[in-house]
Amino acid sequence: MALYKLLRPLAFALDAETAHRATIAALSVSLPLPLPRFPAELEQQVAGLSFPSPVGLAAGFDKDAEAPDAILGLGFGFVEVGTITPKPQAGNPKPRLFRLKEDHGVINRMGFNNGGQAAALERLSKRERRGIVGVNIGANKDSADRIADYVAGVKAMSPVADYLTVNISSPNTPGLRNLQAGGELVELLAAVRDARQPGLPVCLKVAPDLESGDHDRIVRAAIDSGIDALIVSNTTISRPPLKSRHAGEAGGLSGRPLKSLALDQIRRFRASSGGGIPLIAAGGIEDASDAWDRITAGASLVQLYSAMVYEGPGIARRIAEGLRARLGLAQMAHISEAVGSDAG
């Protein structure tokens, strides 16, 4: 953390997207560190996978699967790459990524910029399978059949993924969140179910901007379709009070300003599911207290991204250490005991 505090002003002197690309480039050419060892009491069993730590990296950081092994070596229990679409696409016009320094937040309107499935598949095929790497799949902006794009993603990326995430919750691809609606969601999940490989876990990533009744409907559709977990949640189009001069930028808001909304969504999905489907929490997680709050509210795993911009690459290790300490304070022997312990 001390080293990152010295380096952060240099990174922040660059625009956000340039700094991000420089970070990915550096990680992609670095020799991966050995996988970290985590205490046994942090290991989580979710969807048939053994996660050595419940703290993972959310999709959006390593969009093109350029450095998953280097990221695992930083102290993450798992890494999710993507979002990856069938065809390459440039995404939205720049500038499209903004640091909200005063708010410890980020606004992005990237638009699923990525090099496409073929390039990511080639990279992932060459890596030694170590650690858990999930692949987040999406639809191209100009697709005439978005459900077909997700089916293509399931078929293409299954051989190189430890799990897949169906991302229908980005606010930066026009109309994409419509797939969360009743009939379209059922149709999409049925198509994914028919295309998936037996035994390969599939997650559904949802938005935090939901209305009354949406939680019950989404849970029911996910369970009926055999979805293995819900990731709650993506960025928000809502705007709590913000101090940054970038507060008015269009796009999805993440980081600290999303914290209370994302926690509330975990509670709502836990109430709707009654623990019937695992939940993975994302949004505004900055420290062990945030992670503990999500876990005790019902999450089995947590993911972060924006906080790493402000807290540095050691954040995953620090949160894991903090969770172990919280177990001791709560007189619990294993992290699984904490899941949903405050959900009532």
pLDDT digits (tens, 9 = 90+) for 101-126: 999 999 999 999 999 999 999 999 99
CA 106 to chain CA centroid, nearest Å = 15
Q: Which two tokens stand for residue 238?
A: 């809502």
At residue 14 the predicted structure's pLDDT band, cuts being 50, 70 and 90, is confident
The whole-number pLDDT of residue 4 equals: 61
Proportion of the chain above pLDDT 90, given as a percent: 82
What pLDDT score was predicted for residue 77? 97
Residue 80 · residue 59 · CB < 8 Å: yes
- Residue 59 assigned as binding residue: yes
Q: Which of 119, 172, 184, 113 is nearest to 146 (CA)?
A: 184
Question: How high does pLDDT run on average in the chain?
Answer: 93
Is residue 278 scored above 90 in pLDDT?
A: yes
Mean pLDDT of the 279-308 span: 97
Rounded mean pLDDT, 23-35: 86
- Concerning whether 170 is annotated as a catalytic residue, the answer is yes
205 labelled as ligand-binding?
yes
Q: Which pLDDT belongs to residue 13?
A: 83
- Does 108 carry a binding-site annotation? yes
Query: For 188-235, how does the pLDDT look when each residue is reduced to its tens digit (9 = 90+)?
Result: 999 999 999 999 999 999 999 888 889 999 999 999 999 999 999 899
| Residues near 10 by beta carbon (within 8 Å), at least 6 away in sequence | none
Answer yes or no: is pLDDT of 2 > 60: no
The pLDDT score that the predictor gives to residue 344 is 65
Looking at the predicted structure, is the pLDDT value of residue 78 above 90?
yes
163 is in an annotated binding site: no
Catalytically annotated residue among 53, 169, 170, 225: 170
Distance between CA atoms of 36 and 30, rounded to whole angstroms?
16
1 among the known binding-site residues?
no
pLDDT band at 245 (very low <50, low <70, confident <90, very high): very high
Please, which pLDDT band fits residue 174 given cuts at 50, 70 and 90?
Answer: confident
The answer to whether the annotation marks 60 as part of a ligand binding site is yes
Question: What mean pLDDT do residues 145-154 have?
Answer: 96
SS3 for 221? helix
- For the chain, which domains are there? 2-337 (3.20.20.70)
CA dist list (Å): 32 to 11, 16, 81: 22, 24, 16
Q: Tell me the two tokens of residue 297.
A: 């509210």
Q: Is 233 annotated in some ligand binding site? A: yes
224 is in an annotated binding site: no
Say if CB 117 and CB 156 are below 8 A apart.
yes
pLDDT of residue 169: 83
Determine if residue 167 is labeled as part of a ligand binding site.
Answer: yes
User: What integer pLDDT is reported at residue 158 of this predicted model?
Assistant: 97
